[in-house]
Amino acid sequence: KEFCEEMLKLKVGELKGLLKRLKELGDKIVVFDKEYDVKYENVVRILKMFEKTDNVKVEDLDEITKHYLIKNNILFMNPIDGLVKPQSKLDLLAIR
């Protein structure tokens, strides 16, 4: 139980750090050889979608933010069923 709690604290800290850096410094992502700004508000909006559900339809997400969260190993996209979900149950708990 202690180990699990520590792992959750670690994941929450990583996610908070990513959001703090994004909010204060901004970030960019390259999609199909074009660079885009990543918007903090869009990242938070997408993460909030997972408060009450385990997965979200890929068409409900904007491409820039979706790519950013997948690239940073926060989310995973299953192309077969068209769903996006956190990389693991631990990531889901950290997001919530």
15/9 Cα distance (integer angstroms):
10
Residue 72: exposure state from Cβ atoms within 10 A (0-12, 13-18, ≥19): middle
Q: Enter the pTM of the model.
A: 0.89
**Residue 50, Cβ neighbours under 10 Å: how many?**
19
The tens place of each residue's pLDDT in the chain, 96 residues long, gives: 889 889 999 999 999 999 999 999 999 999 999 999 999 999 999 999 999 999 999 999 999 999 999 999 999 999 999 999 999 999 999 999
